[in-house]
Each structure stands twice: as structure tokens, then as C-alpha cells.
Amino acid sequence: MTGLFDLTSPLLSTLDQGLSPLLAPAWRVAVWGLVAACISMALYALLSPQGRLRHVKAGAEDARRALDSHEGSLGEAMPLIAAMLRRALAQLGLVLGPAVLASLPVLFVIVWMSGAFGHFIPSSLTAVPLSVEPQGLAARWIEPQQSGGTPAGDAAVRAAPEAPRALIEVIDAQERVVDSIAFSEPVTSVHKRHWWNLLIANPLGYLPAEGALERVEIALPRQEIIGLGPDWLRGWEVLFFTALVAASLAIKLVFRLV
């Protein structure tokens, strides 16, 4: 089942594949930051009452100047403080709804980016660490050349969206197979279904709700979009959000959005 914020992922993947022969991953990440900013700011400009916002903002500035120039007692300043707060809250009320709605396209892009540019599947998975919850269980890789594509034991393998790269076998202390998971996507965990999976689904599916197995963590390596700097700088996040914020501020200034 696809999550709400996964609905645009096939389209975004198709567009990104078209860009891949032309642009390196770092440039594509920056482009997606610019695209997300343009769509978000255009939606904000369309939904927000810019005329009313300018009027309210001008009133708030007048109230602030009146308070700044006041030289009387605190009691005499209270009406000025109240007027400034009313105008600030009025501006917030006009901005909040459009800002939340305008941020939704960014969420769609972020969810897709985390899968497309987050981690990658190495040529051999046997060196990728696996951890299991609860304690007392363990997990191991069964790659196709080892298994011939057939799961060991009686545990059923959940259907994968494409041919599995390998299987993850979860075993107990007696090495009995508790569960088998078909692995085909660069996903770092498999768990039981939670309410937030209505928004963001797990491509590998979910563990049985009634089973003892709670979670399998998969320590896949991260993609390095930028080849320099500390580890936290090399992923897609810093470059994407830098492009997003810079483009959003530029659009706001150029078009004088409130």
C-alpha cells in the first residue's frame, strides 16, 4: 500500500531519470531544491491574501513605531502593546493556513529524495550489519547465489515490488527461521505497520502484527552527494535544504511576498 506522500514518487523518479544523463547527483539535488521552492512559493502566493497581509503588516509596523516612541508609564503603554499584539496575531492568522498548504509539495519531494538519494545497496550485502528487536533473535543475509531465490524454512516471504536482491532471515537461538524478508529496495528498517505509514509507506512491507519480531535494522551505506567535508555534509540533506531556503528567500524578495 502506497503512503500519501509516496504518491508522486513514481513521477519524480521518472523525471530524475531524465535528468541523470545531463546532471551529476549533486546538481540534481540542487535542482530539486529549486523546483520545490518554486512550487511552494507559487502556491503560497496563490493562496495567501497578499493585499490584506500588506495592510495588516503596515498596521503592525505603525503600532510598533508608536510603542517605540512612547515615553509614558507602562499602564499608558498597555493599549499600544495590545494593538501591536492584535496586528501580529492577525498577520499570523492570515499566513498560517497558506504556509502549511504551501509546504506540502516540499514534503512530497523530501519523502522521495530520502529514498532516491539516501542510501544505496552495495554489490555484496553480506557485509551490511543487521540488528533485530527484540533481543534473543538474530538476522542473516541469504543472497540469491546461496538460496537460489527460495527461502529457507517454513516462513513465508512477503511479496516485494521487484525481484529481491537477497533475503533477510531472522532466526532464534536454536537457529530456527522465524521470518524471511525479501530485500529489494534501499530501506534501512523493516517493522510492524504504524499509523504514520498511511503517510509514508515502507517499500519492503511490514512485519506481522501478531508476531514476536518487532524490527529489523539494516545498516546500508549512505550515498555521498558531495565528495568533500565531514560525513554530515556529504548527504543530500544539506545541499537540498540550502537550495530550497535560498531559492525561497530570493523568490520572496523578488516578488515582495509578505
Using one digit for the tens of pLDDT, what is the confidence trace for 198-225? 999 999 999 999 988 999 999 999 999 9
225 within some domain: no
**Who has greater pLDDT, 258 or 72?**
258
**pTM score, whole prediction:** 0.84
Using CA atoms, how far apart are residues 167 and 189, in angstroms rounded to an integer?
14
pLDDT at 143 over 70: yes
Using CA atoms, how far apart are residues 33 and 253, in angstroms rounded to an integer?
18
φ/ψ bin of 153: left (φ > 0), alpha (ψ from -120 to 50), beta (otherwise): left
Q: What is the pLDDT of residues 100-128, one digit of tens each?
A: 999 999 999 999 999 999 999 998 898 99
Amino acid (1-letter code) at residue 27: W
Residues facing 20 on adjacent strands: none
- 78 band by pLDDT with thresholds 50, 70 and 90: confident
Query: Do both 239 and 200 map to the same domain?
Result: no
73 within some domain: yes
Query: Do both 176 and 248 map to the same domain?
Result: no
Which of 47-56, 58-67, 208-217 bottoms out in mean pLDDT, i.e. has the lowest?
Answer: 58-67
Cβ-Cβ contacts under 8 Å for 120 (sequence gap 6 or more) = 186, 220, 221, 222, 223
pLDDT at 1 over 80: no
Query: Do both 66 and 135 map to the same domain?
Result: no
Query: Do both 140 and 178 map to the same domain?
Result: yes
Query: Do both 170 and 206 map to the same domain?
Result: yes
Element (H, E) at 247: helix 236-254
226 within some domain: no
124 within some domain: no
Provide the residue range defining the domain that includes 198. Answer: 130-218
Query: Do both 200 and 249 map to the same domain?
Result: no
Using CA atoms, how far apart are residues 78 and 85, in angstroms rounded to an integer?
10
Please count the structural domains in the chain. 2
Using CA atoms, how far apart are residues 216 and 138, in angstroms rounded to an integer?
9
37 within some domain: yes
pLDDT for 68 equals 78
Query: Do both 108 and 141 map to the same domain?
Result: no
pLDDT for 145 equals 58
Q: What is the mean pLDDT of residues 67-86?
A: 80
pLDDT at 37 over 80: yes
Query: Do both 141 and 211 map to the same domain?
Result: yes
pLDDT for 177 equals 92
Helix (H, G, I), strand (E, B) or coil at 143: coil
Query: Do both 23 and 93 map to the same domain?
Result: yes
Q: What is the pLDDT of residues 148-195, one digit of tens each?
A: 443 333 333 333 445 568 999 999 989 899 999 999 999 999 999 999
Q: Phi and psi at residue 256, in whole multiples of 5°?
A: 55, 50
Query: Do both 10 and 105 map to the same domain?
Result: yes
